[in-house]
Every structure is written in C-alpha cells, then in structure tokens.
Amino acid sequence: MFLGRVVGEVWATRKAADLSGLRLLVVQAVDERRDPGAKKVTPVVAADPLGADVGEHVIVAFGKAARVATLGADGDYAFEAAIVGIVDDFDVPGAPEEWRMEDVAAWRKARAGGKGNKPR
Amino acid sequence: MAQGACGREGEQAEMMVGTVIGHVWATKKDPTLSGLRFLVVQPFTLGEATAETIVAVDPLGAGIGERVLVVFGRAARHMIGRGQDIGFQAAVSAIIDKMELEGGRTVGPTAEEDSKARS
C-alpha cells in the first residue's frame, strides 16, 4: 500500500468484461519525489470505488485487498490495484515540500456545481 | 517484481499503462503458455521516457503503437483464462481510448495521436 496523488484518469472500451463500470485513475506515489534520482516514474492505475478526484491524495492497495475493497470480495477480476482511502490530511515530519496536499476543500468548493461527474 | 509501490527504476507497478512496441514468439516454452500471444510493452512514465520493457500476454488483440492497461499477478492469470497455475504473470486487461492527466494534458490511444493533438 502506498500514499499517492491522483494525477489522471483512464478510459477504455475494449477491456475485460469485469472492468466495466469501474473508474480507473492514474496515481503517482508521493515518495517518488523524495528520490532525486527518480527522473522517471511509472504511475499506477487503480480502480476507484470511492470517487477520488485528480489532485487528491489517496491510499492505494494491491491484490486481494484491492479487490475486496472495490467489490466486497476477492475473486477473479482483471485489476490489481484500488484506491481504498481518500486522504483528509497527513503528518509526516520532515516530508519534502512536494508531498504537500493541495487545498482540496477550496478546490472542491470551486468545482461544485461544475461537471458533477463523480460517481458516488 | 516489486510488490507495492509505483514503478521506480528497476521496479514495476502492478497495474499500469504502457505502449505496445512489438511481439514476441517462443516455440520452446512452458506448456501452460502454448497458443498465447506475447507483446513487448513499454511502460508509460511521468518525466523521462523509459527504455525498460515488459512482456505481457495479450488476450484482447492489441496492435503495435496502441496503449494498453497491463496487470500482474492474479488479475493477469485471470485474464489469460487458464486458471491460476500457469507460468506467467503479466497480461493486457484493457486497450486505452484516452487518458486525461492533470494540467489538461490528454493522452490518446497511441503516441502518434498525441503528437497530432499537440500540433
């Protein structure tokens, strides 16, 4: 599991049948930025049962935990990663500046009444 | 294979986007893999492009240049559809139509279409 930031969303028409209806977000781990040598980062794609938005900090789980959190039970499904929590706040003393969260509250307020595309 | 974090250099994410850059054929292989189609996939990265590639089974029929979603582990074995006791752990589970990234950057189904959109 890791702490990450949602950096994008993915859409696919041709896909495994059990992925239909699942929102897929692109998540970058915050700690990638702690390593100055990490010039390239492969973001994780995670199923999103909670309705996270781009810019939000999230907790991502893998494997069985991801499937249970998304669908309520483990089984044969074509995804390995899922968002299991939307982070309200965190405190990591000494964390680099890049870890900081955006002001999500203000940002959401600004967006309210907009597209309203969050699946809840 | 890395368990957990996103892919740093030398690590792999467990579910990620990549571009199909080629095919692989092997006659001599684990008997559980006969008849499967293998692709060479280059992971999508933020920041610098990567030279790393992975090999994934493709049950969906993706073509060269297309962006795909690659999964590992149980999800991959499920995609391959031969039960969980097989000799492979990476598979394509979706062919990407579009990816929207923060900052208004949109990534299309192929790298070529990205550059078209930019120009």
CATH number at residue A30: 2.40.50.220
How many structural domains does chain B have? 1
Chain segment A19-75, per-residue pLDDT in tens = 999 999 999 988 865 555 667 788 999 999 999 999 999 999 999 999 999 999 999
Of A89 and B114, the one with more pLDDT: A89
DSSP A73-103: S--S-S--EEEEEE-S----TT--GGGPPP-
In a domain, B2, yes or no: no
Alpha carbon distance A118, A86 (integer Å): 13
What pLDDT, on the 0 to 100 scale, is given for residue B57? 97
In a domain, B10, yes or no: no
Of A37, A45, A63, the CB nearest to B74: A63
In a domain, B95, yes or no: yes
In a domain, B1, yes or no: no
In B25-89, the DSSP E strands lie at 38-43, 46-47, 54-57, 67-72
Which domain range does residue A100 map to? 2-111
| B interface with A, Cβ–Cβ below 8 Å | 3-9, 12-17, 43-50, 60, 69, 71-76, 78-79, 93-102, 105
In a domain, A103, yes or no: yes
* Model pTM score: 0.83
Chain segment B64-91, per-residue pLDDT in tens = 999 999 999 999 999 999 999 999 999 9
Q: At residue B91, what is the residue type?
A: A
Q: How many CB atoms lie within 10 A of CB B45?
A: 19
Q: Which residues of A touch B45 (CB under 8 A)?
A: 40-43
In a domain, B39, yes or no: yes
How many structural domains does chain A have? 1
Alpha carbon distance B75, A77 (integer Å): 6
Mutate to test the interface with A, among B1, B12, B17 (most CBs of A within 10 A): B17
Which domain range does residue B63 map to? 15-118
What pLDDT, on the 0 to 100 scale, is given for residue A32? 65
H helices present in B26-68, as ranges: none
- Check CB contact under 8 Å for B17 and A46: no
Residue B118: pLDDT above 70?
no
Q: What is the CATH number of the domain that holds B48?
A: 2.40.50.220
Cα distances from A84 to residues A67, A81, B87, B99, in angstroms, run 10, 9, 30, 21
- Check CB contact under 8 Å for A37 and B13: no
In a domain, A117, yes or no: no
pLDDT band at A10 (very low <50, low <70, confident <90, very high): very high
In a domain, A119, yes or no: no
- Check CB contact under 8 Å for B96 and A10: yes
Alpha carbon distance A52, A3 (integer Å): 13
Q: Mean pLDDT lowest for which of A28-42, B25-39, B102-116?
A: A28-42
Mutate to test the interface with B, among A42, A64, A104, A111 (most CBs of B within 10 A): A42
